[in-house]
Amino acid sequence: MNVITIKQESIMEIKDAKVFHDYLNGVIEGEDVKKSTKLYADAKTFYSSVDPSISDDQIMYEVYSYEHDGLCYGLTVMQPVCVNGECNVTRGHFHENLDCDEIYCGMGGEGLLLLMDEDYHCHAEKVKCGSVHYIDGHLAHRLVNTGNCELKVQCMWPSHAGHDYKRVEEHPFAVRVFKKNGELKVEEE
Ligand SMILES: [Fe+2]
């Protein structure tokens, strides 16, 4: 292993990064990093039915985000929880500014990136460690955790993209993914 020791710091300033993405533990830490937690109590409308066996304080997913000068960097960590057999999903959104694209990158676990065009037709891409997904700004997007462990997905988007959740509530994703006897089943609503 090559070890490079930098001795001449007086020639130029060398700083530590202000933000650190801990890939192994699935957290982003540092200055100005925001973290939000979505509990089941606040996510019941995301699924096709309410599951009384899941407690309201069950964490469904956490989102870390770091914004600087017009660019955002984020991480979504989704729990492998099924709601009456339906795989865990994020809320999903269109961007308020449809000209703003986004990149997702799988960091761990297995899932689907569900995409819906402006005619409300859906398609999906498989998400796994290392998969890179370019999301056109005109597509609504939602993650589905289809695996048995946390699904971790890194995201990068322009700050002014915004989140239009209302449009997805008015025109929900037409497909849902269920896990039955260990097998995935996609159902149309
Ligand atoms: Fe987005």
CATH assignment at residue 68: 2.60.120.10
In a domain, 20, yes or no: no
Q: How far is the CA of 119 from the centre of ligand 1 (A)?
A: 18
**Which range of residues forms the domain containing residue 177?**
25-188
Q: Which of 45, 175, 47, 60 is nearest to 114 (CA)?
A: 175
* pTM for the full predicted model: 0.93
In a domain, 16, yes or no: no
In a domain, 4, yes or no: no
Mean of pLDDT over the chain: 95
Q: How far is the CA of 63 from the centre of ligand 1 (A)?
A: 12
Q: How far is the CA of 141 from the centre of ligand 1 (A)?
A: 7
Give the mean model confidence (pLDDT) for residues 151-167.
97
Counting residues of the chain whose pLDDT is more than 70, the rounded percentage is: 95
Q: How far is the CA of 114 from the centre of ligand 1 (A)?
A: 12
**pLDDT at 7 (0 to 100):** 67
Q: How far is the CA of 41 from the centre of ligand 1 (A)?
A: 23
Q: How far is the CA of 158 from the centre of ligand 1 (A)?
A: 9
Q: How far is the CA of 135 from the centre of ligand 1 (A)?
A: 8
In a domain, 42, yes or no: yes
Q: How far is the CA of 171 from the centre of ligand 1 (A)?
A: 16
Q: What is the pLDDT of residues 93-137, one digit of tens each?
A: 999 999 999 999 999 999 999 999 999 999 999 999 999 999 999
In a domain, 81, yes or no: yes
In a domain, 164, yes or no: yes
Q: What is the pLDDT of residues 53-88, one digit of tens each?
A: 999 999 999 999 999 999 999 999 999 999 999 999
In a domain, 9, yes or no: no
Q: How many domains does the chain have?
A: 1
**pLDDT at 77 (0 to 100):** 98
pLDDT band, very low/low/confident/very high, at 6 (cuts 50, 70, 90): low
**The dihedral formed by the CA atoms of 94, 86, 107 and 172, expressed in degrees to the nearest 10:** -10
**pLDDT at 38 (0 to 100):** 98
Q: How far is the CA of 92 from the centre of ligand 1 (A)?
A: 8
Residue 25 has pLDDT above 80, yes or no: yes
Residue 32 has pLDDT above 70, yes or no: yes
Q: How far is the CA of 13 from the centre of ligand 1 (A)?
A: 36
**pLDDT at 3 (0 to 100):** 66
**pLDDT at 24 (0 to 100):** 87
In a domain, 145, yes or no: yes
CA–CA distance, 186 with 189 (Å, rounded to integer) = 10
Residue 171 to residues 53, 119, 120, 130, 185: CA-CA distances in angstroms?
Answer: 28, 10, 7, 31, 22
